[in-house]
Amino acid sequence: MYLCPSTKIMEDTFKHKGLRRMLAKKLKSKGIHNQTILNAIEKIPRHLFMEAGFVEFAYKDQAFRIGAGQTISQPYTVAFQTELLDISPGDKVLEIGTGSGYQTAVLLELKASVYTIERQRELYLRAQKNLQQLGYYPHFYYGDGYKGKESYAPFDKILITAAAPYISDELKQQLKIGGTLVAPIGAGDTQVMTTLVKVSETEFVQTDFGDFSFVPMLKGIKR
């Protein structure tokens, strides 16, 4: 049991664990094959990344509101993006859109070294507190993900968890040659899940993986 200063009791019960096992099975049946990712989904208490009122929905394969007009991504989407990233232990990963921090926790369970950026101060502060209480320690930044994190570049992998109308030159530059960027690209209601593999300083190989729906990647920061 974890105890929050807000007096919220962060319990993880056998019932939650059972629900997570079923969720992992469901993701497997939907085509997620990477066992390390399924183990992470089975381990991470997703209900502790959501507002109290949504706890009973935490282990449905659905996205949910997390306040500040944002959502915690659907578990299938988290698993799908993580599978595309093809993480090896020790990979240096830049994540744009910390949100609840759930995806961050998945990356950390895969033993990546995670640099995560959130543009909304409220979410940045909340995710930081929550992840640390659960024992997850990424590098947190409050800022505009379009700019990346130049001082820690290059990254082995870059993950965007908001709908990106385009990929900024900064992010392309901050990816290692041989590295992969995963992002839902598009400005409409749905976006195309895309991987960009950097093959030289100026060339990328792009592959599409079908339609998804994310909240938009916005410019600048929100106080």
The catalytic residue positions are: 73
Comparing C-alpha atoms, which of 167, 192, 196, 194 is closest to residue 179?
A: 196
Residues contacting ligand SAH: total by CB under 6 A: 23
CA distance 8 to 209: 39
Residue from 140, 146, 155, 212 touching ligand SAH (CB under 6 A): that is: 146
Residue from 45, 75, 97, 179 touching ligand SAH (CB under 6 A): that is: 97
Per the rule left: phi > 0, alpha: psi between -120 and 50, beta: everything else, 7 is left
Q: Is 70 in the site for ligand SAH (CB under 6 A)?
A: yes
Q: Is 73 in the site for ligand SAH (CB under 6 A)?
A: yes
Q: Is 182 in the site for ligand SAH (CB under 6 A)?
A: no
Q: Is 123 in the site for ligand SAH (CB under 6 A)?
A: yes
CA distance 17 to 19: 5
CA distance 122 to 41: 25
Structure tokens at 21: 């096992």
Amino acid residing at 137:
Y
Residue from 87, 93, 117, 134 touching ligand SAH (CB under 6 A): that is: 117
**Span near ligand SAH by CB under 6 A; candidates 36-44, 111-119, 177-185, 187-195:** 111-119
CA distance 125 to 98: 10
Q: Is 156 in the site for ligand SAH (CB under 6 A)?
A: no
Residues interacting with ligand SAH, by CB under 6 A?
70-73, 96-97, 99-100, 102-103, 117-120, 123, 144-146, 161-162, 215, 217-218
